Amino acid sequence: MPELKVGQRVRWYLMADASDAFDIHVIHWHGNDASSNGMRTDAVQVLPAGMAIADMLPDNPGIWLFHCHVNFHLVGGMIARYRVTR
Ligand SMILES: [Cu+2]
């Protein structure tokens, strides 16, 4: 499980493979927002063979979900947890 600290600058690197040209991902964090492409958000789209960067400054401690919002990806296991501690 990724371990983050409140106030720590965190950079998430989000990448998708090119095995399916139609597989769009919508990566979503519970609990904390990130900044990506000049926008404050809690969800980032990643196209096939695409990449995105999201910068997070966690301010909400806890154990949070991090998952793809495409339902069949979520059910298929694209879900994890990350922890934010003080
Ligand atoms: Cu997905």
Domain spans in the chain, listed from the N-terminal domain onward: 3-85
Expressed in angstroms and rounded, the spacing between residue 73 Cα and the centre of ligand 1 is 5
Q: What is the pTM of this model?
A: 0.91
Expressed in angstroms and rounded, the spacing between residue 83 Cα and the centre of ligand 1 is 21
Expressed in angstroms and rounded, the spacing between residue 86 Cα and the centre of ligand 1 is 30
The predicted-structure confidence for 27-80, as pLDDT tens digits, reads as follows 999 999 999 999 999 999 999 999 999 999 999 999 999 999 999 999 999 999
**pLDDT score, position 11:** 98
**pLDDT score, position 20:** 75
**pLDDT score, position 18:** 85
Question: Got the DSSP string for 48-79?
Answer: TT-EEEEEE---S-EEEEEEESSHHHHHTT-E
Q: In terms of CATH architecture, what is 3-85?
A: Sandwich (2.60)
Expressed in angstroms and rounded, the spacing between residue 48 Cα and the centre of ligand 1 is 10
